[in-house]
Amino acid sequence: MVLFYSSNALGDDQPVVIYAGKDKFERMDWEKVPEKLLLDAGHICKAGSIQGNKQAVTIIYCKATNILKRGDFATGAVTFHDPRKVKRFRIEERVNAIVNRLNKTKVERQVDHEAERIERERQQHKLKRAAANERANADLALARQRKADAEARSYANLHAKEGTDEWEEDEWERNRKEGDFDPDDDFM
């Protein structure tokens, strides 16, 4: 089960989806998370605390690979491989407006992250393939245009009979008398 929250702390034109639960995957560079977004995430964390709503809470965040959890730890207790790669953010008191705004956007659903990733990659591949096809079509059209321009500039077709169709030759043959001189005939 995963809980999804929609945060507009960065502005209405930059909506951010915050999700909490199991099977989390990192999508943003964790060191560059804006403070307003941290405030929203911290209020979600503070409101959902096991020990209740405390007055002041320090939110600790880091990369998932930095979390160290061994079997002899108490339930919910963790430590870190490298304490220098841990960031802390303090929330002094609860702001009900933030918590209520986030709870209105709360959605609970079962998520298959692997299927979502595969679908997202499929869509990205489809867009890349369409762009590649468009580039290939443009290159083909350009090559055809260049070939036509080269043929137009070529001297190979300079002395070719233009406009002599079959019907013109038939007309010439019909109108020619038996003994008339034909310059196209061979004398030998």
Q: Where are the domains of the chain?
A: 2-111, 112-152
Residues 87 and 62: their CA atoms lie apart, in Å, by 6
Long-range contacts of 4-8 (CB under 8 A, 24+ apart): 4/105, 4/106, 4/107, 4/108, 4/109, 5/40, 5/44, 5/102, 5/103, 5/105, 5/106, 5/107, 6/102, 6/105, 7/37, 7/40, 7/41, 7/102, 7/105
DSSP category for residue 68 = E
> What are the structure tokens assigned to 79, written together?
């430590």
Residue 151 pLDDT exceeds 80? yes
pLDDT mean across residues, the chain: 79
> What are the structure tokens assigned to 142, written together?
């350009």
Q: Give the strand pairing for 87-91 and 2-7.
A: unpaired
Q: What is the mean pLDDT of residues 28-49?
A: 77
Q: What is the mean pLDDT of residues 64-87?
A: 85
Share of the chain above pLDDT 90, in %: 18
Can you give the pLDDT at residue 67?
86
Lowest mean pLDDT among 39-43, 60-64, 160-164: 160-164
Can you give the pLDDT at residue 88?
87
Degrees, nearest 5: CA angle 13-102-112: 85
In what helix (H) or strand (E) does residue 90 lie, and over which residues does it extend?
strand 87-91
Q: How many residues does this entry show for the chain?
A: 188
Q: Give 118 or 12, the one with higher predicted confidence.
A: 118
